[in-house]
Amino acid sequence: MGEVVVPIEDDGSMHVLPLYSPPTTTPLEIITVKSTWIKDTPVAGQAGSGPPDVVDLRELESWLPLTESRNGTIFSAVFHLLCSGLGFQALLLPAAFSSLGWTWGIICLSIAYTWQLYTAWLLVNLHEPVPGTRCSRFVRLSIIAFGQKLGKLLAIFPVMYLSGGSCVMLIITGGNSMKQFFNIICEQGTMCGSKSLSGTHWFLIFTCVALIIGQLPNLNSIARVSLTGAITSIGYITMISALSIGKGRTDGVSYNVPDAEKTGMARFGDISNAIGIIMLAFRGHNLILEIQGTLPSESKHSCRTSMWRGVMVSYIIIPMCLFPLAVVGFWAYGDKIPAKGVGILTAFAQFREHDTSKFMIGLIYLWLAIACITSYQIYAMPAFDNLEFVYASNKKRRCPGWVRVGLRLFFGGLTLLIAVAFPFLGSLAPLIGGLAAVPLTFAYPCFMWISIRKPGRNSGMWSVNMGLGCFGIILSILLIVAAVWNLADQGLNANFFSP
């Protein structure tokens, strides 16, 4: 609730009040205005304002993991961006080239990279839509841009999926990587080789390690964890690329598009799936505002400048990893790269395991597992933040330590349960990615810019953002249709509770 003083107009007409007006003799009336959405969406507020039973919004944000600490640096932002932006999804890029060919594969990868870099620039510049107001959560910015109901409708599911769903996929991938590492160092016939664990056990071990690290209080406190994740991600991608070059091309490799003679929905499904793999390889847009929220911002020194520098540094490193991986992977294995599993890593283990040292293969799986554990922290942080926000807003106080631990254990147990129950979730990634990740990364930021900054209709910025936003939504729909058709055509190996 708040009180606003407005002049009473005798003629009943409506006027837009300017930011400043000279003294007036018009009679004044005090009216009460109630906000129905500020409580649901934490924003910066005036310290000490509001009734005693309402939590000050600035104080509430200081209790939550995403905004508890705002003393981050460009380096911490780069670490977070690399850790969240380089993932195991990149290992599938050569499989996309096998459906698109050299020319269209490189063109599509270049367009997707440029497009998502532009939307990252939009998000960085929309972090402070009004001077003094910071949007440190994607849902918050969506509500400002599209209104409370539509903003929540468009943003909550993508953000929830890209937080919780990514953690589930990290458990599946990281757990399987730990299992492969164990099998490599412990051969059959040895004491440890005779005690092989099931997939469920490895999922549990992965989750326990991730939750131990997950007790770090806030996003800034996991900067070193993100640094570890960035190093290991760059490490295993570089090692796979280097070993593939060193071992040369696989015998019988072909670069011809295998399904060039297909027509109709079959060919459409293959092309759409390849485009989806490329678009889903670029991750982390759901965390850009959150990462920027950890940086200090003042009227003379906005966090926009330092964040954009961090984005530029990280987005120079990311294509230096992704482009060579895609090109080298397709050159080395061609049409033999599976479109499922972990792509080039599966092909490498299948064709090069016999002439590669176990130490090198084991190191790749170890680094992949560590990268998944560290990525789990940054992708789980928005979920931790939301759980603690519900508690803090209801109890009007900071989460005690034991409650924070309990909430994070609850989230970890929930993601573990889903990973064990649905170990085939990766097969549904093109479908769910088309619903959530593609519009959030490629379309929503364009519409947000138009809604908040309001560029002139038919101006350059309006036309570019409207065109890219609409094209992103169209691509999202096409990817969903193609994913549904592929599932109907090829079926789904739904191995419930059998990881």
Per-residue pLDDT of 303-356, as tens digits, reads 899 999 999 999 999 999 999 999 999 999 988 887 677 889 988 888 888 888
Rounded to whole angstroms, how far apart are CA atoms 193 and 329?
A: 31
**CATH code of the domain containing 300:** 1.10.4160.10
* Confidence (pLDDT) at 234: 96
Structural domains in the chain (count): 1
pLDDT of residue 47: 37
Which amino acid is residue 133, in one-letter code? T
pLDDT at 18: 44
Backbone phi and psi for residue 200, each to the nearest 5 degrees, phi listed first: -60, -40
Across the strands, what pairs with 133? Answer: 130
What tokens were used for 474? 């169209």
Which pLDDT score, from 0 to 100, does residue 196 have?
75
Q: How confident is the model at residue 188 (pLDDT cuts 50, 70, 90)?
A: low
* Contact criterion met (CB below 8 Å) for 164 and 463: no
Please give the structure tokens belonging to residue 272.
């759409």
Is the per-residue pLDDT at 422 higher than 80?
A: yes
Give pLDDT tens digits for 263-312: 677 788 888 999 999 999 999 999 999 999 999 987 677 889 999 999 99
At residue 37, the pLDDT reads 36
pLDDT attached to residue 395: 87
Residue 55 lies in a domain: no
Query: So what's the pLDDT on residue 261?
Result: 58
**Confidence band of 35 (pLDDT split at 50, 70, 90):** very low
Phi and psi, residue 141, nearest 5°: -65, -35
Phi first, then psi, for residue 153 (nearest 5°) are: -60, -40
pTM: 0.86
Give domain status of residue 463, yes or no: yes
> What is the per-residue pLDDT for 9?
40
- The crossing angle, in degrees rounded to 10, of helices 138-146 and 444-453 is 50
* 14 domain-assigned: no
Q: Which of 442, 69, 77, 1 is nearest to 292 (CA)?
A: 77
Q: Which domain holds residue 216?
A: 62-490
pLDDT confidence of 2, banded at 50, 70, 90?
Answer: very low
Among 476, 392, 368, 490, which residue's Cα sits nearest to residue 431? 476
Q: Is residue 2 part of a domain?
A: no
Q: Can you give the C-alpha Rg of the chain in angstroms?
A: 25
Tokens of 47: 């310290």
Q: Which of 385, 399, 333 is nearest to 218 (CA)?
A: 385
- Biggest alpha carbon–alpha carbon distance for the chain: 95
